[in-house]
Amino acid sequence: MSEILFQYYPVRLTTWFYLASLLSIALFFKFNRLWSIRNLDLIGLVLLAPGLVALEYVGETESAKLAARTLGFWWIYAVSAAFLVRMLCDSMMVRRPMLEPNLTTGGLVFLGCSLLVFLLANVVNSKPHRDDVESAAAAERLGERAGEVDVDQLAKHGPGYPLLFLLPQISTRQFLAPDASGDEQEEDLARRQVHETTARVMAIIAQIAIVAGMVFIGWRHFDNARLGIAAAVLFLLMPYTAWMNGSVDHLLPGALVIWAVAAYRNPFIAGALIGLAIGTIYYPVFLLPLWCSFYWERGVRRFALGVGAALLALVVALWLTSPDASVFVGQLRQMFGWIFPNDVSLEGFWALPSSDGVFRLPVLAAFIAMMATLAIWPAPKNLGTLMSCTAAVLLGTQFWKAHNGGLFMAWWLPVLLLVVFRPNLENRVALLIVEADWFPRRRAA
């Protein structure tokens, strides 16, 4: 951006936290209704940022840095737990007064477009860290060797689509990113540049898709485009968005889930998008009981067919890009997460000295119980409960995720913001909205 704007410098995460928090309060805080749920939600969203700032703290000693990381993860988990309870209780809130933002629609559109341009410009002008480049290169070398993908790759990176781990993470949160070129051969350098360009393009497309999906949902399903625009602007204002808007594994699953919600009236398309999200990062697989429960009265077969078709397409792509059958089996294991919870390498919160990894198992058991409960209750489900429960399930996966759990907020944050702004959607149920099945069952006369 310095080539276009005179002496423009990227904003540090801490500075952006202060500015974005004040601007978010000015735009969305309802000063005439201090104790409204909207205000409490906004305060909670602002409180997510101090945890991220603590994680980026560079102390003078290793003990100070470790203390800051510990505080940051615990802070993020505490705020996330509060939002999890909020999403579980959302279906009980029948009265939802219309609390529109404090800015006109034109002003929100101008602000949102300006924020989007600056965020995408940071992705274009930023470079990946050396560690990210080396990790992607190691994943590529490991994928070319038989018999090692299913053990090392899955344990190190966690479940997900193997080809996605070849893309480096474009760092937009550092003022200066370390040079990742190093001493490389011309062929390796060209391959790395292709991967970096692919990562930038996919991150930009995913970011635009999330924003467009939120606006579309407000216009199409809320019957109020201003609410969708407001939710999208608040998402762009979040410090997390500026922190991780160059990470494909953060943004792509969130874009697929948000467009699955946007396409909920077509069960096959919604199922295909959920299937792509499952194949991309695995964890949306826990959405299947919830979404099947929503479509149970009408559309469940088309939804299941869409999920199966998307997963089959991803498996075929793996088969075509695998050098032999053993590598294909290993990549298939990583895609579907075929590994015991104790065999993964812990990273992030569960790797801290103050955290015992054995407690992941009861947290996982509680999550499975919550997931099973949401498949049964409430019934029947409307679009509002589908959105809040989707955010709750994706948010719940962060508490037991072995690799940097709690930091993948783009999976659930766009849906949560739409829940914060949504009107009453009790009449949006599958039996009334979804069209009849392709092959309706024959009923007895």
Mean pLDDT of the chain: 86
Give the Cα separation of 243 and 247 in Å (integer): 9
CB 401 within 8 A of CB 436: no
Q: Which pLDDT does position 344 carry in this prediction?
A: 82
DSSP string for residues in 166-186:
GSPPB--SSSSPPP---S--H
- In three-state secondary structure terms, 329 is helix
Q: Residues, the chain, total? A: 445
Q: Which helix (H) or strand (E) holds 114?
A: helix 105-125
Of 47 and 8, the structure prediction assigns the larger pLDDT to 47
Q: Which pLDDT does position 116 carry in this prediction?
A: 94
For 397, residues 6+ apart whose C-beta sits below 8 A from its C-beta are: 283, 286, 367, 405, 411
Interval 28-84: pLDDT, tens: 999 988 888 999 999 999 999 999 999 887 667 888 889 999 999 999 999 999 999
pTM for this one? 0.91
Interval 331-380: pLDDT, tens: 898 898 887 777 788 888 998 988 888 899 999 999 999 999 999 988 88
